[in-house]
Structure 1
Amino acid sequence: MDIQPYTNTETLAIGRPWLMSMLGTETNQTVTLDLTKFSESLHWTEASKYQPERKLKSGIPLGKITASGLYAPYAAVTNEIQTLTVTGGPTGGTFTITFSGQTTGAIAYNASAATVQTALEALSNVNAGDIKVTGNAGGPWTLTYGGQYLGENVGAVTTTETFTGGTSPDITIATTTGGDTATASDGTQVFAGFLFTEVSFYPGHTKVAAPIMVHGQIDVTKLPVAFDPTDVPAGSNTQFVYGI
């Protein structure tokens, strides 16, 4: 896998905004897709009343199913998920979260998920979209990592509490899903290339021929699904120059 930064952008064909240059497109290969593995909205758009064909989006990362030889969406590695749970029933006070050496401001013991997320995004090492926080006011709060931490094995956050009331109030931290772990074993965990063009198919069809690009220059920020080239496993027989 040859991954290098590439900063110049060219305007190319409509429908392929993720393609930065035509370099390497002559190496496209025709493969057969297993349409049962693709999902609406994420991978394809529904047909209209007057236009029955569905359209797979170009730029979908693909892997090859070992048993059938058909191609399906690449099974990216897991994203880190951590859970923070308040224990001991505090009735007041605050806490801070430390992530990779950076510490948030004080957060109320009964803060909403949105407030926790805002506090994290105020850190110098967290951008919008890097950590999505969900849960009820007062927790538990679930931290799902993405953005620059997509597919990464992220170190667990730590907390410092200044709680009042309750019985020995504290926050427990658990890694519910470790990052950078393979999510499939059927062959799709090995990245094969990108769907080069939009592909039309009719409802009810289970297979379709399509071109797959195995060499070229890619802007990962414009792909139709989240994709981190640094998490492509060794052994993927592809070469790309990724935009930054």
Structure 2
Amino acid sequence: MDISLRTTEFFVEDQSWLGSRDGTDVTQGMTLHLPSFNANIHYPKGYIPSGIVVARITSGPGAGMHGPYAGSTSESQTVTVTGGPTGGTFTLTFNGETTGAIAFNATADAVKAALAALPSVNASDLAVSGGPGPNTPYVVAFRGQFAGQNVAQMTASGASLTGGTTPSVTVTTTTAGGSAAASGLDVPDGFLLTSKAVKTANIGAPLHWRGVIRVSRLPAASGFDDNARRALGAKFRFED
């Protein structure tokens, strides 16, 4: 009989990010594809923390398993009024919809209001900084339903601008939206509910797919971003 002393280490995982226990008893099973995780980022303490956003791998190594959601960048575009106009108006077109007339020296709030008035856009879908024109460009940041997406570049018309030297309006993409990740890692699927020490190539784990999430309590490097908030909004209620 072996009566030598043996020790086992236990720890209580931090699940303060759970806003309620709803959904914890109906989790879906999944397998984590360990090679998709970065040791320094995702499990520096030897285990993958509960609360990380995961995505289902759709092709290539690990297909059918889950890896860490890779995150997506939200797009921003710059609108510049050139030629030194002293009067008149311009318009912006997004997804085939054209704004009403925007004054040549409009404030950022006025540009946002013109875009938010489009049928397919809500005020929460964008933020506008910069201006007033024509000396300072406007930067339109897409969020809300457009968060993390590579949206169509707006077009502009300065045909109604007056004064100056050949006034016009240009639109450039400042930051392209979307994700460089492939194989499904750009599509968040839910949250890892519990963690296990990293010892084997792949680890069985429960996928938390509904409930209330306290965003401020999510672990470091959870991967949660505006796109995850939008994509998972039908499954979860988020509390900041």
Distance 2:130 2:171 in 1: 14
Could you tell which deviates more after superposition, 20-29 or 127-136? 20-29
Distance 2:20 2:83 in 1: 50
Distance 1:229 1:24 in 2: 21
The offset of 1:89, in angstroms, is 0.7
3-state SS of paired residue (1:98): strand
Asked whether 1:214 is paired with 2:207, we answer yes
Amino acid at match of 1:226: D
Larger Rg: 1 or 2? 2
1:220–1:228 Cα contact (<8 Å) kept? no
1:59–1:196 Cα contact (<8 Å) kept? yes
Q: Match of 2:62?
A: none
Q: Match of 2:142?
A: 145
The offset of 1:112, in angstroms, is 1.2
Distance 1:229 1:92 in 2: 41
Distance 1:110 1:19 in 2: 52
Q: Match of 1:92?
A: 87
The offset of 1:149, in angstroms, is 0.8
Name the CA shift for 1:108/1:15 in 2 (closer, same or farther; >3 Å): same
3-state SS of paired residue (2:109): helix
The offset of 1:192, in angstroms, is 7.8
Amino acid at match of 1:145: F
Q: Match of 1:175?
A: 173
Structure in which a larger fraction of residues adopt strand = 1
TM-score, length of structure 2 as denominator length: 0.58
Distance 1:19 1:84 in 2: 46
The offset of 1:163, in angstroms, is 0.6
3-state SS of paired residue (1:129): helix
Match for residue 242 of structure 1 among 232, 235, 240? 235
Name the CA shift for 1:105/1:20 in 2 (closer, same or farther; >3 Å): farther
Asked whether 1:126 is paired with 2:126, we answer no
Q: Match of 2:53?
A: 61
Structure 1's unaligned 5+ residue stretches are: 1-12, 39-57, 64-71, 198-211, 233-240
Q: Match of 1:53?
A: none
TM-score, length of structure 1 as denominator length: 0.57
Amino acid at match of 1:140: P
Q: Match of 1:227?
A: 227
Q: CA-to-partner distance for each residue in 1:89-120, whole Å, 9 max, x for gaps? A: 11111111111122222111111111111111
Q: CA-to-partner distance for each residue in 1:139-165, whole Å, 9 max, x for gaps? A: 311111111111112111122221111
- Count of matched residue pairs: 190
Asked whether 1:25 is paired with 2:27, we answer yes
Q: CA-to-partner distance for each residue in 1:60-110, whole Å, 9 max, x for gaps? A: 5258xxxxxxxx984312212211111111111111111112222211111
3-state SS of paired residue (1:133): strand
1:77–1:231 Cα contact (<8 Å) kept? no
Distance 1:105 1:20 in 2: 46
Distance 1:19 1:93 in 2: 58
Amino acid at match of 2:235: Y
Distance 2:20 2:74 in 1: 23
The offset of 1:134, in angstroms, is 1.2
Structure 2's unaligned 5+ residue stretches are: 1-14, 43-49, 56-66, 195-204, 219-223
Q: Match of 2:18?
A: 16
Q: Match of 1:113?
A: 108
